[in-house]
């Protein structure tokens, strides 16, 4: 099935997130299976995989929302089992499920998060205004969230996560259910925040094109494991070179696609083997759990 070399981690760069041999099961279902993952400080790291790959479970382990044994998950060196509060203080988390309240204004929603995350009272109004400004919601800040479009709601949730100035921003499928324009707008805002603050971003997505465009490095996850890890260019070039070598060794004449660099989709299909098809789940075949816009309407 997979011909990719085992994923490697680089411990020389300061790690924002490190998972070592992380397992997590729901009854008989092994959602995360001996996961090794290293996210470097300051990068946008994309965890890619089809529905059910284990992305959300991994994210929830890192956020301390699911219990993990000691020495399995660290966030900026803090152990997620032993130092839960220290870990939580360092991160902002935007889950797949809706986290904004439709019956409150944008400003009220962000203020609520500022309170929950203990933003000092005297700084609160300014920090809320700044977070709304970063995501271009200043003009709409005093409108009820139920009047927002899906993309605006996603940006509001981004502001909610940013108001505590986290060092690590974790986003679970931030663009699911959005139209292409809203998707690129959300990404542009994530990118702008990263550039301005140096914040580390860990994002799950099944949109390969988004990952190629916006993530510094990606981890391809399937059935609870990372099967390949690197920059999108590295992964694509590695597969191209391997195919060329195989063709040469087999003595076959040049294939039609010999000169072409495979896409990230090809890489995924290569590392996941037949699994994607057996499960009836192309990675782009989304259950679309989110459907943000319709839920607030
Ligand atoms: N609360 C739960 N109880 C039982 N099984 C669960 C639970 N949450 C997830 N699972 C199972 O664990 C596996 C991994 O699910 P997970 O949600 O982590 O995948 P994912 O890659 O995030 O996919 P999706 O994008 O569809 O959420 C799946 O087989 C899923 O059915």
Angle, CA 247 vertex, CA 244 and CA 248 arms, to 5°? 85
- Based on the structure, what is the number of domains in the chain? 1
Residue 46 within any structural domain of the chain: yes
Alpha carbons 3 and 132: distance in angstroms, whole number? 46
Nearest-CA neighbor of 75 among 170, 215, 203, 216? Answer: 170
Q: 264-275 pLDDT, tens per residue?
A: 888 888 888 755
What average pLDDT score do residues 196-220 get? 91
pLDDT at 80 over 80: yes
Residue that has been written with the tokens 């700044």 in this structure: 130
Residue 29 within any structural domain of the chain: yes
pLDDT at 44 over 60: yes
The dihedral region occupied by 98, where left means phi > 0, alpha psi between -120 and 50, and beta the remainder, is beta
Between residues 292 and 156, the one the model is more confident about = 156
Between residues 279 and 234, the one the model is more confident about = 234
Instruction: State which of 19, 57, 268 you would mutate to test the pocket of ligand 1, scoring each by most atoms of that ligand within 8 A of its C-beta.
Output: 57
108 Cα: distance to centroid of ligand 1 (angstroms): 32
CATH number at residue 127: 3.40.50.300
Ligand 1 within 6 A of CB of 288? no
Helix axes 106-116, 121-134, angle to 10 degrees: 130
Residue 7 within any structural domain of the chain: no
* Low-confidence winner among 18-22, 104-108, 189-193 (lowest mean pLDDT): 189-193
Residue 237 within any structural domain of the chain: no
ipTM, two decimals, is 0.96
Residue that has been written with the tokens 């690197």 in this structure: 230
Ligand 1 within 6 A of CB of 31? yes
Six-digit token string for 172? 């679970």
Q: Give the pLDDT confidence score for residue 255 in this predicted structure.
A: 53
| DSSP category for residue 146 | G
Residue 236 within any structural domain of the chain: no
- Which residue range forms the structural domain that includes residue 180? 15-230+263-296
Alpha carbons 44 and 216: distance in angstroms, whole number? 5
Residue 8 within any structural domain of the chain: no
Residue 257 within any structural domain of the chain: no
Residue 177 within any structural domain of the chain: yes
Ligand 1 within 6 A of CB of 219? no
Q: 121-162 pLDDT, tens per residue?
A: 999 999 999 999 988 999 999 999 999 998 899 999 999 999
Q: 4-39 pLDDT, tens per residue?
A: 443 444 444 479 999 999 999 999 999 999 999 999
Spell out a b/e string for 2-22, using b for 16 or more CB atoms within 10 Å of the CB, else e: eebeebebeeeeebbbbbeeb
pLDDT at 291 over 60: no
Nearest atom in ligand 1 to the alpha carbon of residue 57 is 18
pLDDT at 68 over 90: yes
Q: What backbone phi and psi angles, to 5 degrees, belong to 127?
A: -65, -40
Six-digit token string for 44? 């946008």
Q: Give the pLDDT confidence score for residue 115 in this predicted structure.
A: 93
Q: For the sheet containing 217-222, what is the strand order?
A: 91-94, 168-172, 200-205, 44-48, 217-222, 225-230
Ligand 1 within 6 A of CB of 229? no
* DSSP string for residues in 175-240: TTT--HHHHHHHHHHHHHHHHHH--EEEEEES-HHHHHHH-SEEEEEETTEEEEEE-HHHHHHHHH
Ligand 1 within 6 A of CB of 49? yes
């Amino acid at each position: 099935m997979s011909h990719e070399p085992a994923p490697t981690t680089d411990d020389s760069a300061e790690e924002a997130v490190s998972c070592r041999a992380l397992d997590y099961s729901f009854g008989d279902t092994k959602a995360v299976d001996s996961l090794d993952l290293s996210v470097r400080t300051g990068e946008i790291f994309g965890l890619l995989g089809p529905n059910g790959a284990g992305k959300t479970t991994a994210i929830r382990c890192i956020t301390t929302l699911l219990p993990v044994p000691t020495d399995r998950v660290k966030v900026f060196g803090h152990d997620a089992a032993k130092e839960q509060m220290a870990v939580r203080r360092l991160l902002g988390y935007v889950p797949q499920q809706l986290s904004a309240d439709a019956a409150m204004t944008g400003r009220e929603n962000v203020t609520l998060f500022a309170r929950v995350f203990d933003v000092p009272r005297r700084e609160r109004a300014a920090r809320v205004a700044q977070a709304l400004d970063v995501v271009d919601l200043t003009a709409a800040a005093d409108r009820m969230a139920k009047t927002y479009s899906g993309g605006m709601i996603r940006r509001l949730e981004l502001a909610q996560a940013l108001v505590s100035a986290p060092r690590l921003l974790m986003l679970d499928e931030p663009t699911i259910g959005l139209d292409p324009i809203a998707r690129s707008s959300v990404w542009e805002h994530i990118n702008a925040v990263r550039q301005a603050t140096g914040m580390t971003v860990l994002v799950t997505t099944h949109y390969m094109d988004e990952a190629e465009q916006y993530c510094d490095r990606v981890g391809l996850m399937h059935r609870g494991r990372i099967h390949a890890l690197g920059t999108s260019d590295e992964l694509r070039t590695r597969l191209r070179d391997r195919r060329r070598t195989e063709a040469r060794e087999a003595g076959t004449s040049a294939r039609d696609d010999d000169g072409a660099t495979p896409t990230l989709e090809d890489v995924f299909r290569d590392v996941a083997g037949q699994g994607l098809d057996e499960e009836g789940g192309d990675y782009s075949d989304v259950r679309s759990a989110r459907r943000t816009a319709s839920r607030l309407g």
